[in-house]
Amino acid sequence: MAVSSLRIFSDSLALHIELNVWLPDNVSGEKAIPVLYLLHGLTDDHNGYLLHSPLMKYVNEMPVAVVMPQVHRSYYTDMKQGGKYWTFVSQELPQKLKQWYRISDKPEDTFVAGLSMGGYAALKWALCYPHKIKAAWALSPAVDITDMRKRMPEREEEFQWIFGSISEFETSENNLFHLLRQTADNVTLPAMKQYCGRQDYLYEDNKRFQELAEAKWGNYEFYESDGEHDWDFWYPNFEHVFSEIKQYLHH
């Protein structure tokens, strides 16, 4: 196992950005390396997962590269007033990694997982680019931005910078409910598993998304259990995520 901590220049962002790339030992030859994009939450950064070492021990058992990009508080969007973080993460970064590390860009080798803000981005990735990934996992995702804006008026200025006005947001690619409703019936979406704790402040939002997803998303599963918006809930569920990725890779 090797961890590369990188500071690279992003053309999309027009600035230098940091990320971590976890490379497996057990991949040899010229074969492209499968990849998991592991997306951090709102108050964390690209180092967050590495600091939770019990979690990373499971990663070390998989023949997969794990990419952990820094996106600050951007919600992985092309911000209305700010950087094009979505373009960077979903388009520019995979191409750079393919060149530098032999990391695969094939859909059958590409997985996305994240928690909270990162869980939102995992769902968005699956809906925006269903032909580019095999499976995605969203833990305690921030699925309903409109409802969050109503509940958190103190953050409205930040939401404006990221998403624009509520009317602009409603029909944009940043609205997961809109994306899912607009998905054509003949589009095959990647496998998706969504997790949320019953005591999580985002639980009701997640249940609303579950109702729509179960009607529209063929390969979708929702899991709930007692738990809050914290690592006590995320740890055991990430173990399930990594176990499932291993199964995908061994098929």
What's the pTM? 0.96
pLDDT attached to residue 241: 95
Q: Find all residues with CB under 8 Å of 63, minimum gap 6, and list them.
A: 24, 26, 27, 33, 34, 249
CA atoms within 13 A on the CB side of 173: 15
Q: Which residues pair with 63 in a beta bridge?
A: none
The span from the CA of 122 to the CA of 106, in Å, is: 17
Q: Which of 48, 204, 201, 209 is nearest to 138 (CA)?
A: 209
Q: How confident is the model at residue 52 (pLDDT cuts 50, 70, 90)?
A: confident
| Level-2 CATH architecture, domain 2-250 | 3-Layer(aba) Sandwich (3.40)
Domain ranges within the chain, ordered by starting residue: 2-250
The string of pLDDT tens digits covering residues 152-190 is 999 999 999 999 999 999 999 999 999 999 998 889 999
The string of pLDDT tens digits covering residues 204-237 is 999 999 999 999 999 999 999 999 999 999 999 9
The string of pLDDT tens digits covering residues 100-135 is 999 999 999 999 999 999 999 999 999 999 999 999
Q: Which of 124, 221, 131 is nearest to 169 (CA)?
A: 124
Q: How confident is the model at residue 33 (pLDDT cuts 50, 70, 90)?
A: very high
